[in-house]
Structure 1
């Protein structure tokens, strides 16, 4: 019954109301990416490679970026002494090396085909969207100097994520009965393949784990010596910070970093501690760029008029996209979202969607020992198997 109900749906049905993607040219620099990320409403921005030399004027989305990509890049050893030079690097250094994370698909692509692409590793499906005739004639608002056009060759695009598909399936969850009521343990979707860091370890030792968890759309579990889950370092939380959080990662313990990026901003004493430790590590470049501010970039793209950021950087890790205050989009703290092995599939789906995460940690009932993680792709695997008979 579920297959018969859902099989006619195509990705265009899931794109209704989706906003067009703001874009950054592949010719931009890291500094340009920072400026653009501080100007968009979402936490990420699409990167496009456009060839206008031929009559076909080919434009392709080659990836997406968020502030975590920038932070992990700035924390690399080669960039510590000269962050100003690192900011002038091409934006391509921030793009994940994995292929197939972003895929162009037609609006007529079926829901089942979209699920297959997600299960093959795609994180974002780029889809052309129709612009209504009424919208075409509406007066255009002056574009922000830091946001690039959302059209490519006159066409607007949006993208779908695993969250969008899981949310859509949740709307038809009754069609899958009794599957939603089964436990995640019985369904076999708990995995122990996840990133973890010790609470007392240096946060800098978790940079690789943060980068890998971003690529997998999960998080880094923060545990004690006994394996009890204390919290997490979430890429989605870090993405709401600005680039100055890289200084905190280089100087604080994992536990202190959790406090630094938590809602409300870091305590003043932790901010002072970061500055002192940067100086002790002789990272004067980091102090100058991320503590004293301001910084500037003389970068310019070959085919785009890109502004250079000149706003002084806030000393706190938690900032709004306007450069001051706290992010209005932050809806969760460093505490991790958890469930139990006996939790039902539908309960875990609702929990993840309600908290805007693509995973939920699984813990023991008695001592909060971390057992594993349940992710959106694992959930989609189950639904895909349920749809299989009709395909």
Structure 2
């Protein structure tokens, strides 16, 4: 059965996947932000075409050169020069957000083997770009009539993402092939990574976490928030930065890491923290950022009824039934709590946790809550590849 699994093509993993929404590398940061908000997707693909004027008529050599998310925009706006003039910063070309790291995104033919895809992932590729079936002439004309930001055709083809989660979910459906590895504890599989964990302390300025937030976007993980005893009390996930982008950028520049979690945890930030951010923006003479924050929060609060309210917890520090740590602060509620497991948790249990919560990682903690490391999808794939080779 393992041999048959290796023969599967990546097209088998693309069945039913939606086509990519795309952005041109010549777009602005503001256009990227508008598209991310409009479509509500975690990432949008960024493309470069040899001849934009003929892109709709023929194969123009278009390539996906990267991807962007809300976290990229937030990190960009957090820079001091951009907080001083966010309006100008938002008009910068999208290329300032695309990481200059080769291999993060790669094209792969649909006939490529599953093994080839797994090999690229363990080498550092985060997203594989796979062409879907060629659309009919009528459907292609309909797609091309849309805005360039929602266009899905390049080189006369539609494309989809193939991610680490897709591969893990596919392998999970054939989990019996890997017996007895899935039932073994993760500390026996050399899968707990303690060297690449991104951390910041609860009382540290949130700005200290900015480089780690940028790294977490690249690694598809999060930044762990620790107390003075190195216990995990929460996390700052790039996907928690989705709403109130300009406001969150201001919060990162002015609040502590702990207060930042409270700021981004619900549909709207607490009023006391909003006042604190505004006071500190005034102290730093970031008048333009303050004006943009007022405008953005005004829009946000006018539609706040669409958000479900968050409830805080005053419980003592500990892990709930869902496998999350919380209760460290009344301000720390559901979305800031990290998904956790123990060193003796089985590999299959950790896989289920990550897949259920749609994350690419699970924090590993000791019994007292201290952070021991992290388990990632990339690490899991390495374990399965080793098993398949044997």
Q: Which residue does 1:257 correspond to in 2? A: 260
Give the helix-richer structure, 1 or 2. 2
Q: How does 1:250-289 map to 2 (within 5 A)?
A: 250-289=253-292
Q: Which residue does 1:308 correspond to in 2? A: none
Residue 17 and residue 122 in structure 1: after superposition, are their counterparts in 2 closer, same or farther (change >3 A)? same
How far off is 1:8 after superposition?
A: 1.8
Q: Which residue does 1:65 correspond to in 2? A: 68
Cα distance in 1 for residues equivalent to 2:95 and 2:24: 10
Residue 104 and residue 145 in structure 1: after superposition, are their counterparts in 2 closer, same or farther (change >3 A)? closer
Offset from partner CA, 1:191-240 (integer Å, 9 cap, x none): 11211000011111111110011111111000011101000001122245
Residue 106 and residue 249 in structure 1: after superposition, are their counterparts in 2 closer, same or farther (change >3 A)? same
Alignment check: 8 A CA contact 1:241 1:318 kept: no
Considering only aligned residues, what root-mean-square deviation do their CA atoms show, in Å?
A: 2.7
Q: Which residue does 2:297 correspond to in 1? A: 314
Count residues with an aligned counterpart: 362
Cα distance in 2 for residues equivalent to 1:198 and 1:227: 8
Offset from partner CA, 1:241-286 (integer Å, 9 cap, x none): 5332101111111111111111333112222221122112211121
Cα distance in 1 for residues equivalent to 2:96 and 2:305: 28
2:174 aligns with one of 168, 172, 175 = 172
- Higher RCO (CA-CA < 8 Å; seq separation 6+): 1
How far off is 1:314 after superposition?
A: 2.9
Select between 259-268 and 348-357 the one with higher mean Cα deviation: 259-268
1:86 aligns with one of 83, 86, 89 = 89
Alignment check: 8 A CA contact 2:203 2:256 kept: yes
Offset from partner CA, 1:45-70 (integer Å, 9 cap, x none): 11000112787511000000001000
Offset from partner CA, 1:90-120 (integer Å, 9 cap, x none): 1000011211100000001100000000001
2:79 aligns with one of 76, 79, 93 = 76
Tell me if 1:107 matches 2:110.
Answer: yes
Alignment check: 8 A CA contact 1:201 1:253 kept: yes
How far off is 1:315 after superposition?
A: 5.2
Cα distance in 1 for residues equivalent to 2:46 and 2:147: 17
Residue 210 and residue 110 in structure 1: after superposition, are their counterparts in 2 closer, same or farther (change >3 A)? same
Q: Which residue does 1:29 correspond to in 2? A: 28
Tell me if 1:154 matches 2:156.
Answer: yes
Offset from partner CA, 1:274-331 (integer Å, 9 cap, x none): 112211221112112222x3xxxxxxxxxxxxxxxxxxx23598999xx984499xx9
Unaligned runs of 5+ in 2: 310-332
Unaligned runs of 5+ in 1: 294-312
Q: How does 1:1-391 map to 2 (within 5 A)?
A: 1=1, 3-52=2-51, 56-131=59-134, 147-192=149-194, 193-239=196-242, 242-291=245-294, 293=295, 313-314=296-297, 325-326=306-307, 333-365=335-367, 367-389=368-390
